[in-house]
Amino acid sequence: MRNKVVSAITVLLFITHAINIHAQTEIPLYNGAVPGSENWNWEEKQIKADIGNIVMDVSHPSLTAFIPANPNGTAVIIAPGGAFHVLAFDLEGTEVAKRLNALGITAFVLKYRVVHNDPAHPENSIGTLMSTKNFKKLDSLNAPVVPLAMQDGLTAVKYVRQHATDYKIDPNKIGFMGFSAGGTVTMSVIYNATDESRPNFVAPIYAYEGAIIGSTVPSAKTPIFICAASDDDLGLATHSVHIYLKWLAANQPAELHMYEQGKHGFGTKTQGLPVDSWMDRFTDWLAMHGLVKK
């Protein structure tokens, strides 16, 4: 009887431990008022869409930690896209984090500040702006927010590096990847980082170059993985090429994957196209740089 009780307790402890390992923890990036948006008083919203959860009205930036069962020492911060108005939190965030967890990578999905969705001004909603292709107005509305989103990205890197031991992370193996607007954040972070806030590698995925802050490639070795589709329906394919050529000119390690088809926002979608396997190519690249084992 005693052996059965001990065995039951052992199983319970194992289950509890497994739950704790895979628990997702949301970590505020700032204590108290958030610098630069102290007067933002709107509540964060989430809506369900065919691509998963969409997050709006982020006023309190955070990281959601996805911790693998056996961390391999590498970490990646993930910035979802959404034209700085929303965040495609699942398609370009949590689903990516889960795939990275399967490789032993500790992943952090970043909720960065975005433009307020004001019901009094439906003409400024992301749906209206995209359907009318009013990209000039979109850029104008986004302009005050992009520096705040960049600051959230820099703060996220500092947090992960400062807590590397807690998460069993090598502080020299911290990456930053982002999709679309999140790619803009990714590149703004790497162009404006200090030693404390600089990612060790970056992965802009169909990034929007027009709103990137800064342009100086870091002197420290910073491998870059770039991915996009030639038929990007927002016309952003060349943006990825420009970033690649900039890295190449700086004699930095650079890899570019430009798929013929996939359009904008392919993320973790399954489209029955070669682009569906882009994360396998990312895994190959991570392995080449000693960031995962295959």
pLDDT tens figures, 17-30 = 333 344 578 999 99
pLDDT band for 294, please (50, 70, 90 cuts): confident
| pLDDT greater than 90 at residue 241 | yes
How many percent of the chain have pLDDT more than 70? 92
How many percent of the chain have pLDDT more than 90? 87
| Largest pairwise CA distance in the chain | 74
Residue 5: the pLDDT is: 37
Distance CA 155, CA 136 (A): 29
Residue 104: the pLDDT is: 98
Average pLDDT over residues 47-56: 95
Taking the CA atoms of the chain, what radius of gyration do you get in angstroms?
A: 20
* CATH of span 25-288: 3.40.50.1820
Residue 9: the pLDDT is: 35
| pLDDT greater than 80 at residue 136 | yes
pLDDT tens figures, 185-195 = 999 999 999 99
Residue 23: the pLDDT is: 52
Instruction: Give the residue with greater pLDDT, 12 vs 276.
Output: 276
pLDDT tens figures, 139-155 = 999 999 999 999 999 99
For the chain, what are the domain ranges?
A: 25-288
| pLDDT greater than 90 at residue 234 | yes
Residue 24: the pLDDT is: 77
Instruction: Give the residue with greater pLDDT, 273 vs 5.
Output: 273
Residue 22: the pLDDT is: 45
Average pLDDT, the chain: 92
| pLDDT greater than 60 at residue 46 | yes
Half-sphere exposure of residue 265, counting CA atoms within 13 Å on the CB side?
Answer: 12
Among 258, 52, 71, CA closest to 163? 71
Place of tokens 């959404």: 82
Beta-bridged to residue 66, according to DSSP, are 24, 107
Average pLDDT over residues 259-278: 98
pLDDT tens figures, 181-228 = 999 999 999 999 999 999 999 999 999 999 999 999 999 999 999 999
**Which pTM was predicted?**
0.91
